[in-house]
Structure 1
Amino acid sequence: MADLAPGVVTLFGGSGFIGSQAVRALARRGWRIRIAVRNPVQAIEVQPQGDPGQIQFMRCDVTSADDVAAAVRGSHAVVNLVGVLHDGGGKRGFKSAHVEAARAIAQASRAAGVERVVQISAIGADANSPSAYARTKGEAENQIRAVYPDAVILRPSLVFGAADGFLNRFAEMATMAPALPLIGGGATKFQPVYVGDVAESVARAVIQGDAAGRTFELGGPDVFTFREVLELVRRETGRDRLLLPIPFPIARLMGAVLETVRFVGLTPPLTRDQVVMLQSDNVVASDAATLSDLGVVYPTGMEAIAPSYLYRYRDGGQFAVSPVR
């Protein structure tokens, strides 16, 4: 299949952590970008990522077939970045945000004659997974492929960067708590991938003809255990907190209790489903197509980037003494 020439690309969820970086990567290549989001006003900070007039915002509820159809009209490519990390129920639930949104986007894209669809999934996505997150991500892939067999699916591992929700969460916790939770003893493995490399992969997946119909697992150059990730957080924040091992059964009980904060509009710091996910390694499979197959041959390591934003959690912030390496 031939490479796709620059045209109009619609990004669902294009104002988020990965999406905002993908907008920049596509804008550099001359694409006209339509960002379909629930609240365009909150996405306006993405506007400077392109030239004047290059980026358009459209209010879109991905659970509305009419909204989705309007968002993809006239598009040459579509990228689905919609995803939630905990099941908030209703329109913010896994089933709605992952499965139903993917189905609506695929069907509307086919009706509009969209040439390329890219689905952002996750390593571990499997329609038979015991984790509701991974299971609905797998079901979403199936929905996309049922309509677009030549869709490109990207499965990143843990994504890091200045606005990430993982390193920042534990770094903030280290400023307040006497200990950091080592769920399951900290043996779970991750292959953290830089958000800039994921964004570059999105742009290449949209354009490259040889990516059609393939699934790529995106991981960085190094594998870390959960313990090693928390040790990096301690080192870069200068917060020498105790790493407290918490067995999986106890962590599940903690998750069940912490999930109740959803009912007062708060985001749970831990859920039972996240504990289930932590029982499996989150690394690129040995036989998977990877970043290098998309042409990203020198991925960025976490230890090269994390210090550039974790410094703000040190006592004294940017004026603190840098940790000894």
Structure 2
Amino acid sequence: MEVDTKKQITVFGGSGFLGRYVVHALAKRGHRIRVACRRPDLAYHLQIAGRLGQIQAVQANLRYPWSIDRVVEGSDHVVNLVGILAEVGKQNFTQLQAEGAGHIAQAAAKRGIGMVQMSAIGADAQSRSEYARTKAEGEARVFAARPDAVVLRPSIIFGAEDQFFNRFANMARLSPFLPLIGGGKTLFQPVFVNDVAVAVADAVDGLVPGGKVYELGGPNVLSYRQMMEEMLRIIERRRRFIDLSFSTAASLAKTLGKLPGAPLTTDQVEQLQHDNIVSDAAKREGRTFEAFGIAPTTLDAVLPSYLVRFRPQGQFSKPQPHDDRPAEDESLPGDKGVAKA
């Protein structure tokens, strides 16, 4: 299928972690990109990803429909990547992930243009997690306005700027203990950020059928604990794990949630009680990376490239003998008192 490389694409949330990769993927295909975000000054670095004038940062706020309508004007396609893991001030789940997605879809429908909506595995209208519930509501609003939209649901996304492996690798530099919420049994299917970006670009180019929800997961299913062990193996550090029951983690999150930039919220604890992997239905119906012809990238192929800085001597650390035991001892249950030194 011949790809139209003369499209004007408006990307909401293009200055974020996933956004920068999506902008790069679209620019490589020759599209003109309008990066819509609350702080255009934080997106200027994206301009070097394309030719002079190919990428433009513009101001928009999903809480104000008129600003959405303004930046969508003249576009051939819209991509919505906006999502938050925790509410901060006026930036709440309902306004951004549900109502905001609906406003963008309505603006696209008004002009008869296509749309790609970024959701997440675990989106569920009946979930007790407000994040998951509003993601599902956002999907419903998008399909109501644009029945031919493409919705993508990735599992946990990893890459050089991710907030999972980088956060815990940095924690391992300072703390002899690492927490395992719910015993670290929750399953994930880590997916490389660049693979997701290519899928977005393919959807924009009409290379997959619209009106469907595609679930994107990496080649391996790993538990929370296994991901932590892999991270420790790569940064060549050994740390003990402390098991935290979901109830203990929720209580801790309730206290921490009152602090600015809280590392854990009660909503996130709720999400961790459910596996985050591609469903059997999506596999059976071909609504996975298979539909895009993308062979997903493994963790081992990427993690060392950006976690090396967390090794004891950084990139200059000497290779260590392979050791499948990242912790100094068995997991220590957090509800049974202080761990042994």
Asked if Structure 1 and Structure 2 have the same fold, meaning a TM-score greater than 0.5 normalized by the shorter chain, the answer is: yes
Aligned pair 1:250/2:244, yes or no?
no
Gaps of 5+ in 2: 323-341
Aligned pair 1:303/2:300, yes or no?
yes
Q: Which residue of 1 aligns with 2:67?
A: 67
3-state SS in 2 of match to 1:260: coil
Q: CA deviation at 1:286?
A: 1.3
Match of 1:283 among 277, 287, 304: 277
Question: Which residues in structure 2 correspond to 1:57-136 (within 5 Å)?
Answer: 57-90=57-90, 92-114=91-113, 116-136=114-134
Gaps of 5+ in 1: none
Bigger helix share: 1
Following the alignment from structure 1 to structure 2, what is the Cα–Cα distance between the partners of residues 176 and 317?
Answer: 15
Following the alignment from structure 2 to structure 1, what is the Cα–Cα distance between the partners of residues 93 and 40?
Answer: 22
Q: CA deviation at 1:119?
A: 0.3
Query: Is contact 1:4–1:206 with CA below 8 Å preserved after alignment?
Result: no
CA separation of 1:138 and 1:31: change in aligned 2, threshold 3 A: same
Query: Is contact 1:3–1:209 with CA below 8 Å preserved after alignment?
Result: no
Question: Which residues in structure 2 correspond to 1:20-35 (within 5 Å)?
Answer: 20-35=20-35
Q: Which residue of 2 aligns with 1:151?
A: 149
Following the alignment from structure 2 to structure 1, what is the Cα–Cα distance between the partners of residues 93 and 88?
Answer: 8
Match of 2:263 among 248, 266, 269: 269
Runs of 4+, deviation exceeding 6 Å: none
Q: Which residue of 1 aligns with 2:218?
A: 220
3-state SS in 2 of match to 1:303: coil
Query: Is contact 2:237–2:311 with CA below 8 Å preserved after alignment?
Result: yes
Q: CA deviation at 1:128?
A: 1.1
Root-mean-square deviation (Å): 1.3
Q: CA deviation at 1:191?
A: 0.2
The one-letter code matched in structure 1 to 2:109 is R
Query: Is contact 1:65–1:104 with CA below 8 Å preserved after alignment?
Result: yes
Larger radius of gyration: 2
Q: Which residue of 2 aligns with 1:166?
A: 164
Following the alignment from structure 1 to structure 2, what is the Cα–Cα distance between the partners of residues 67 and 4?
Answer: 30
The one-letter code matched in structure 2 to 1:180 is L
Q: Which residue of 1 aligns with 2:315?
A: 318
CA separation of 1:304 and 1:323: change in aligned 2, threshold 3 A: farther
Q: CA deviation at 1:227?
A: 0.6
Q: CA deviation at 1:279?
A: 0.6
Query: Cα deviations across residues 252-294 of structure 1 (Å, max 9, x unaligned)?
Result: 1011011011xxxx31111111111111100001121101111
Following the alignment from structure 2 to structure 1, what is the Cα–Cα distance between the partners of residues 153 and 50?
Answer: 26
Following the alignment from structure 1 to structure 2, what is the Cα–Cα distance between the partners of residues 323 and 17?
Answer: 31
Query: Is contact 2:218–2:298 with CA below 8 Å preserved after alignment?
Result: yes
Following the alignment from structure 1 to structure 2, what is the Cα–Cα distance between the partners of residues 101 and 236?
Answer: 39
Q: Which residue of 2 aligns with 1:36?
A: 36
Q: Which residue of 2 aligns with 1:11?
A: 11
Q: Which residue of 1 aligns with 2:236?
A: 238
Query: Is contact 2:208–2:291 with CA below 8 Å preserved after alignment?
Result: no
The one-letter code matched in structure 2 to 1:310 is L
Following the alignment from structure 1 to structure 2, what is the Cα–Cα distance between the partners of residues 323 and 31?
Answer: 45
Question: Which residues in structure 2 correspond to 1:187-198 (within 5 Å)?
Answer: 187-198=185-196
3-state SS in 1 of match to 2:218: coil
| TM-score, reference length from structure 2 | 0.90
Question: Which residues in structure 2 correspond to 1:48-59 (within 5 Å)?
Answer: 48-59=48-59
The one-letter code matched in structure 1 to 2:205 is I
The one-letter code matched in structure 1 to 2:37 is V
Percentage of matched positions with identical amino acids: 46
Following the alignment from structure 2 to structure 1, what is the Cα–Cα distance between the partners of residues 321 and 200?
Answer: 36
Q: CA deviation at 1:244?
A: 0.8
Say how many residue pairs are matched.
Answer: 317
The one-letter code matched in structure 2 to 1:53 is G
